[in-house]
């Protein structure tokens, strides 16, 4: 896809080894952009350097290591001379009911899903602010608006992710920096692999419930990850990109239903709420 503004963009992408991160990294390189691609294991992205040469910088990065984050962002900026797009894509899901998952497991997931992206943003902001431009993208999910059982803690991390980016967008708009939250629905990526999932120790009382839940997930109509790059490019090439972008066929339907139910509940209890104002 040709650049609409004629300028090759420079990306910094976390979680570039698989899933959307890999798809979007390769798509950006194919259209002539340059990418600092990062992953926990450098070997998982070594092939990118062989194929795309100097247009890609491959860096080992564990987003929970904040010193390493700062070093990686600095290296990318030094290598390419500027950064146009900072895309936080690294993350995983903790599978377990609210009762099953331990505090340590929840904390570890938040280290990757929340504190890791925050470290990347904080490392990149001084660079983007000095440039007077830049675009921060974050991969959230449709479960940043709705919830599912069994992955409730993962949903909670995406709700937090959404709130942080919405506040961030207002705070850095004056510096010429844009923010977009990418919200995929169900896709046939490696997100369901053992590398992208961690399982809490199960309790027998939830066994049947979880079995039914997993069966329902298997029946979902999953999107094709290869169909997503054009949507991402439209966003990063737009003069006025949206704060949020749903990608997938069913997201908006689910969000409409969830918000309609919430509004109906709030309205039903409005009299009680108003009386509580005093």
Residues with a known catalytic role: 140, 154, 158
CA neighbor of 177 nearest in space, from 130, 139, 138, 118: 130
CA distance 67 to 224: 35
Using CA atoms, how far residue 114 sits from 45, 60, 111, 218, 251, in Å, is 23, 19, 6, 27, 22
CA neighbor of 3 nearest in space, from 181, 225, 177, 238: 238
Contacts of 74 (CB under 8 A, 6+ apart): 123
CA distance 121 to 138: 10
Contacts of 255 (CB under 8 A, 6+ apart): 142, 145, 146, 246
């Amino acid at each position: 896809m040709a650049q609409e503004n004629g300028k090759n963009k420079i990306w910094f992408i976390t979680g570039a080894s698989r899933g959307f991160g890999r798809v979007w990294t390769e798509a950006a390189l194919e259209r002539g952009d340059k990418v600092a691609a990062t992953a926990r294991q450098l070997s998982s992205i070594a092939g990118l350097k062989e194929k795309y040469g100097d247009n890609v910088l491959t860096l080992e990065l564990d987003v929970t290591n904040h010193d390493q984050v700062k070093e990686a962002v600095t290296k990318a900026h030094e290598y390419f001379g500027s950064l146009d797009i900072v895309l936080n894509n690294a993350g995983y899901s903790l599978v377990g009911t609210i009762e099953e998952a331990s505090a340590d497991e929840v904390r570890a997931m938040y280290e990757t899903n929340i504190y890791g992206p925050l470290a990347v943003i904080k490392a990149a902001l001084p660079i983007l602010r000095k440039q007077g431009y830049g675009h921060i993208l974050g991969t959230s999910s449709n479960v940043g608006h709705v919830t599912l059982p069994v992955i409730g803690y993962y949903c909670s991390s995406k709700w937090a992710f959404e709130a942080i980016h919405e506040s961030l967008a207002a705070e850095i708009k004056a510096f010429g920096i844009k923010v977009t939250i990418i919200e995929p629905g169900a896709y046939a990526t490696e997100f369901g692999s053992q590398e992208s999932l961690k399982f809490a120790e199960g309790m027998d009382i939830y066994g049947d419930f979880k079995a039914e839940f997993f069966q329902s997930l298997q029946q979902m109509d999953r999107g094709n990850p290869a169909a997503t790059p054009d949507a991402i490019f439209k966003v990063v090439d737009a003069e006025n990109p949206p704060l949020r972008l749903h990608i997938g066929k069913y997201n908006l339907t689910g969000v409409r239903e969830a918000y309609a139910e919430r509004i109906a509940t709030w309205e039903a209890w409005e009299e009680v709420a108003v009386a509580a104002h005093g």
